[in-house]
Structure 1
Amino acid sequence: MHIGKSIEISRRAFLRRSSQLAVAGAASSYALGLAGLSEAAAFSSAGGYKALVCVFLYGGNDHANLLIPFDDANYARYAAIRGRASDGGIGLSQSSLSSTVLRQPDSQTLTDNMRLALAPTMPRLAARFTEGRMAPLLNVGPLIVPLTKAQYESDNNSSYPRPAKLFSHNDQQSTWQSSAPEGSVTGWGGRMGDLALSSNRNTMFTAINASGNAVFLSGETALPYQVSSSGAVTINGLGRRVYGSSATSAAINSLMTTHHGHVFQQDHAQTVARSISYGDFVNDAIGGVSLSTDFDEGNSLAGQLKAVARLIGARGALGVNRQVFMVGMGGFDHHDGLIGSHEALLGALDHAMDAFYRATVELGVADQVTTFTASDFGRTLASNGDGSDHGWGSHHMILGGAVNGGRFYGRAPEISVEGNDQVGRGRLLPTTSVDEYSATLAKWFGVSASEMPGISPNIGRFAAPDLGFMQS
């Protein structure tokens, strides 16, 4: 099976961009269309296969109980603000952190001489940090321009713009994934997919979502192909007898795939026909991939990542050289019940990400696959009783053989509810932007400097288009 050719991809991208911009005038849309074609040629797929895997934590992960201060002075501040769980607060005990302390190199000093530990249910990722395969990125969040606290509090929004609709779940999920609030139609994963299409023989499998619909993987031309934990999502009734009748199954197939004169009916029929064909193709391809890695079938995120690992194992059969994946995990909106529930979620995350990393080692692609976390937002350092409320900046993790791990990136925030890097109740004012995060990953993936504004639209306003956490 051969799906798509690079010249056809470029032609369709040109036509689509031109038609979308026609209202701006023929000359401008034509020029922008040509720019899109030259950008596609600049993308580098050299060095063999590469994949990015986004692990999205839905609900807004409580970053303050993901990475916890372990040194006495900063832990005392943390405990004073959050209260100890043993006394009804939401702070983890210092003693529980001794096995997950992340020992940064002597050359690195964090804010207020802070030492940080992962949650006690995350020993596997703590070990990956020690091995140099995992790197935490501190206080990252959506920004349009760099902001100080005074600028954030200023009325001069034209000089110091803030992302729209802060602290809203749907809008900030979209802003993290696309750089715009709810209603955005392309995400930075999909925009990387646009550039990578011509690197793949079978373009359908450039962007793959194992967790459901999300804007992150939608591009101008690249569209996410959805899979389940068991493989391709197939259409019920087409591969089996319906109500005991093979004739009924055949009739359903005919109704769904017959070509029509109406353009929308025709497009729907072609889409369904492709879905049927691709489903069998994908399942046949991954059927030849055997993994000995234990993923724990009761862990939903691990199941999704196992499906991703099998697809990566079938990359030759699928005809791909560059891929972007998305998986997801819910339950992180801890306005209450933080203690216990949150540690359990982080334990599942720890197991799933580590299993996936071990699977990439088994497949011989650990240096070619990079996994990273994202979430709606961080949360307040201050407790609301037995939980925390919506925040802004947060901490995230990058894992893989090509990661410059074993050290921290970004700036550690003060342990305070009124510091210069906070905007109320310990909500973090990000000191690293999502644009810097995405641009660093995109550079490793093969995106050139000239193409970077199309992936990370605000990157020109920040000093660090490459944060350094990926090997060159």
Structure 2
Amino acid sequence: MKRRDFIKLGSAAIATSGLMNISQSAHALNIPTGDYKALVCIFLLGGNDGFNMVVPTSNFDYDEYAASRQNMAIPKADLLPVSPISHGGSSFGFHPQLSELKGLFDSGRVAVMSNVGNLIEPLSRQQFLERSKSLPDQLFSHNDQQDQWRYVDPQVQKSGLGGRVMDLAVPNNQDPLLTGIAIDGRTNWLSSQLNLDLSIGRNGFDQYGYIASDKNWTQDRRAAFRELLNNNYNDPFIDEFKGLQSRTMELVERVGAQIDNVPDFTTAKPDSRLATQLEMVAKLIAIRAELGMERQVFYVGMGGFDTHDGHITRQQELFTELSQSMSYFYDVTTELGVQNNVTSFTSSEFGRTLTSNGDGTDHAWGNHQLVMGGAVRGGDIYGQVPSLEIDGPDDANNDGRIIPTTSVEQYMASPLRWFGLTDSELNSVMPNLSAFNANAVDFML
């Protein structure tokens, strides 16, 4: 086993055993932001139904949508109207449970990226039917398409997109262990060839069990463990693991103490798992100056989007949590004064079929995504809005699996440029970007 692989194995064990979890934090107001920037990936696990998230409401387009979606269609009168800047005579509406995100869209803080999905190269319906162009492996499979999103070319890449960005963006004076952070479990999106990614619980650091420094009855155990860590074993594997344990103990105690010493946010937090995950991201951002951070990449996941049944009711619950949580996070970044320094974006392995299976939807392909932040050119829908006609020009196979018109690489190019990557670095972290027009979509200021 290579030294790097051993280090990663050790970090995985620590993360999954709860030794790398961060605890309650707070914010340090009025800390200068400098050149700080953070990217926050919000992954909607299971395949979000983006075509019920943002719906065309012009008469012809809505009639086409309603005919395709059948009993999954949202009544036109219930949709929250929005007026995208660049869509002239066309009108759209947000799902009725997305009122907070609709407000952020209206104020120019949220943008919609239309019909994004995994692609190898640009693809028309005819080319799909003829199989004359390359297709992603195992289309409509959860695990495979999640990997495709996270790795962006999983057949070649051995690190995740966020991990490759992290490898390029980490300043020499920045702690790499605090650069790429996932909340509530590790993710391939942050896997790196050069750095360790960190997994932190949404409720904070778990201390090392039975050797806590603040309890008299654990002092002897703690001293014994420290003695073990200080020994020289003349074995490279043991020495690496020993160093990893020492580093983790130091991280838990140092960073945990910094987090615990700042006050709570004044922004009211929704009672949801996603909001608590995003609260932890905000707390880590709040102590960026103390930690010496200039660039950070975060990942949070929200499950439940695989709505094969109970679609309408479940979608109302999911969108309520998503909207309230993202709005809460934006308000907290504003409270911290870093709303222009933090860009959040949704991802999901694929969309849902336009057609109904009776009580739900099935796995599909293209999907709408959301981008949020003070540096986003919000209030607009970017990319090509597809036809939602069954057996229409954008339907892959007659059941409403819409072929993406914007690749994941194109979707990510704009925020990664904002983050500081050059064009050559963009092509390095996303080698397949050259198959697409990298400048087709620019939604960042």
TM-score category by the smaller chain? 0.7 to 0.9
SS at match of 2:120: coil
Instruction: Please give the residue correspondences for 1:225-236 in structure 2 after superposition, counting only pairs within 5 Å.
Output: 225-236=198-209
2:73 pairs with 72, 91, 95, which one? 91
1:137 pairs with 113, 127, 150, which one? 113
Q: Which runs of 5+ in 2 are unaligned?
A: 5-32
C-alpha change, 1:322 and 1:466, in structure 2 (3 Å) is farther
C-alpha change, 1:260 and 1:119, in structure 2 (3 Å) is farther
Q: What is aligned with 1:4? A: none
Distance 1:186 1:91 in 2: 39
| 1:143 partner amino acid | L
Task: Please state if 1:117 is matched with 2:90.
Answer: no
Q: Which moved more, 1:423-432 or 1:255-264?
A: 255-264
Instruction: Please give the residue correspondences for 1:153-302 in structure 2 after superposition, counting only pairs within 5 Å.
Output: 153-156=129-132, 160-181=133-154, 185-198=158-171, 200-239=173-212, 246-248=219-221, 250-251=223-224, 259-290=232-263, 291-296=265-270, 298-302=271-275
1:337 pairs with 298, 310, 331, which one? 310
Distance 1:231 1:456 in 2: 33
C-alpha change, 1:182 and 1:63, in structure 2 (3 Å) is farther
Distance 2:100 2:44 in 1: 18
2:405 pairs with 431, 437, 441, which one? 431
Instruction: Please give the residue correspondences for 1:347-358 in structure 2 after superposition, counting only pairs within 5 Å.
Output: 347-358=320-331
Distance 1:260 1:281 in 2: 27
Q: Contact conserved, 1:313 with 1:363, CA < 8 A, in 2?
A: yes
Deviation at 1:201, TM superposition (A): 2.5
Q: What TM-score comes out, normalization by structure 2 length?
A: 0.87
Q: Which moved more, 1:256-265 or 1:361-370?
A: 256-265
Deviation at 1:281, TM superposition (A): 1.6
Q: Which moved more, 1:225-234 or 1:371-380?
A: 225-234
| 2:190 partner amino acid | L
Q: Deviations over 1:425-458 (max 9, x none)?
A: 1111110000111111110000001111122221
Distance 1:200 1:211 in 2: 27
Task: Please state if 1:362 is matched with 2:335.
Answer: yes
Q: What is aligned with 1:60? A: 47
C-alpha change, 1:177 and 1:257, in structure 2 (3 Å) is farther
SS at match of 2:171: helix
Distance 1:177 1:196 in 2: 18
Q: What TM-score comes out, normalization by structure 1 length?
A: 0.82
Q: Deviations over 1:212-267 (max 9, x none)?
A: 11111122212211111233344333327999654345545655775533322222
C-alpha change, 1:173 and 1:470, in structure 2 (3 Å) is same
Deviation at 1:416, TM superposition (A): 1.2
Q: Deviations over 1:373-421 (max 9, x none)?
A: 0011111101111111111111000000000011110111112121221
Q: Deviations over 1:108-164 (max 9, x none)?
A: 24xxx64221111111110111111100000001111111111122243xxx21111
1:48 pairs with 35, 38, 44, which one? 35
Identity %: 38
The count of corresponding residues between Structure 1 and Structure 2 is 413
Task: Please state if 1:461 is matched with 2:413.
Answer: no
Instruction: Please give the residue correspondences for 1:430-449 in structure 2 after superposition, counting only pairs within 5 Å.
Output: 430-449=404-423
SS at match of 1:451: helix
2:87 pairs with 80, 91, 108, which one? 108
Q: Deviations over 1:94-113 (max 9, x none)?
A: 2211xx222112x424xxx6
Q: Contact conserved, 1:440 with 1:467, CA < 8 A, in 2?
A: yes
Distance 2:239 2:323 in 1: 46
Q: What is aligned with 1:42? A: none
Distance 1:436 1:257 in 2: 49
Deviation at 1:363, TM superposition (A): 0.6
SS at match of 2:297: strand
Distance 2:384 2:435 in 1: 18
SS at match of 2:208: coil
| 2:83 partner amino acid | R
Q: Which runs of 5+ in 1 are unaligned?
A: 1-14, 17-45, 84-88
C-alpha change, 1:278 and 1:120, in structure 2 (3 Å) is same
| 2:73 partner amino acid | G
Instruction: Please give the residue correspondences for 1:380-395 in structure 2 after superposition, counting only pairs within 5 Å.
Output: 380-395=353-368
SS at match of 1:238: coil
C-alpha change, 1:342 and 1:256, in structure 2 (3 Å) is farther
Distance 2:160 2:223 in 1: 38
| 1:108 partner amino acid | H
2:56 pairs with 65, 69, 80, which one? 69
| 1:104 partner amino acid | P
User: Which one scores higher on RCO, CA 8 angstroms, separation ≥ 6?
Assistant: 2
| 1:335 partner amino acid | H
Distance 2:303 2:197 in 1: 20
Deviation at 1:79, TM superposition (A): 2.2
Distance 2:185 2:307 in 1: 22
